[in-house]
Amino acid sequence: MAVIRRLPRYYRYLADLLRVDIKRISSKELSERMGITASQIRQDLNCFGGFGQQGYGYNVETLYKEIGKILGVERRFTTIIIGAGNMGNALANYENFKKRGFDLIGIFDISPNRVGQYINGIEIMHMDRLEEFMKTHVVDIAILTVPSHATAEVAEKVAELGVKGIWNFSPQDLKLSHNVVIENVHLSDGLAVLGYRIKEMEEQEQKKKDKQN
């Protein structure tokens, strides 16, 4: 699973290489660009059949396509956003999702100020219309950007109505009995890692100073 979490990153880096017409790359070079050790890269890519060749490195296009297949990028997913606040708006406008195979087909909210407004050409519908919508559309993924206290209830509802996956932006981890894949986003985890790395940098700088004195 840890490898899977790194695959989207490999995929992005390989896309960047293709864009500047780089045709092959060694694990060492890829390592320097991505900030992952070369041995980790070899180990990761070996998990998926090892597309590298000793002395040659990796064929960028082949690797890009293979990782794309594993990730299922040729498959398109339909998504709805529930909660049209700031985060919902930001995600609805996120240009990269469509490129990566995720099509937004509906936005829902309960606020009278929001219902009837449009985001990126899509009308915000009242939650009352969710059930009818999901009976007439295939919805693969529900993106939940509702307030924390409402998340569990909304999640149960979309699970019952048949979504396959939930992308949860509330700080509380979701757990459901249904057969639904859940990805919990924890933005503050990223900030905590940043804080840790700043603290580490400061400590190293302090050590350098101490040595000079």
What residues are designated binding site for NAD(+)? Answer: 83-88
Question: Which residues fall within 8 angstroms of residue 123, CB to CB, at 6 or more apart?
Answer: 107, 116, 117
Closest to 77 in 3D by CA, of 144, 156, 164: 164
Q: Which own/partner pairs from 14-19 qualify as long-range (CB within 8 Å, at least 24 positions apart)?
A: 14/60, 14/63, 14/64, 14/67, 15/64, 17/60, 17/64, 18/60, 18/61, 18/64
Within residues 125-184, the interface with a second copy by CB under 8 A covers 140-141, 164-165, 167, 171, 173, 179, 181, 183
189 touches a second copy by CB under 8 A: yes
Instruction: Give least dist CB 44 to a second copy, A.
Output: 11
188 touches a second copy by CB under 8 A: yes
Kindly tell me the burial class for residue 154, based on how many C-beta atoms sit within 10 Å of its own C-beta (0-12, 13-18, 19 or more).
Answer: buried
Yes or no: say if 81 and 145 are a contact pair by the CB < 8 Å rule.
yes
Instruction: Give least dist CB 116 to a second copy, A.
Output: 19
SS3 of residue 58 by DSSP: strand
List the one residue from 50, 72, 116, 162 that touches a second copy (CB under 8 A). 72
Instruction: Give least dist CB 35 to a second copy, A.
Output: 8
Instruction: Give least dist CB 68 to a second copy, A.
Output: 10
Within residues 38-57, the interface with a second copy by CB under 8 A covers none
List the one residue from 26, 62, 66, 102 that touches a second copy (CB under 8 A). 102
- Select 9 or 129, whichever has its Cβ closest to a second copy: 9
Within residues 8-27, the interface with a second copy by CB under 8 A covers 8-9, 11-12
116 touches a second copy by CB under 8 A: no
H helices then E strands: how many in the chain? 9, 10
In angstroms, the Cα distances linking 134 to 41, 76, 81, 145 are 41, 17, 13, 18
List the one residue from 43, 93, 111, 120 that touches a second copy (CB under 8 A). 93
> CA 161, CA 35: separation in Å to the nearest integer?
42
In the complex, which residues of this chain contact a second copy (CB under 8 A)? 2, 4-5, 7-9, 11-12, 70-73, 75, 77, 85-87, 89-91, 93-97, 100-102, 140-141, 164-165, 167, 171, 173, 179, 181, 183, 185-199, 201-202
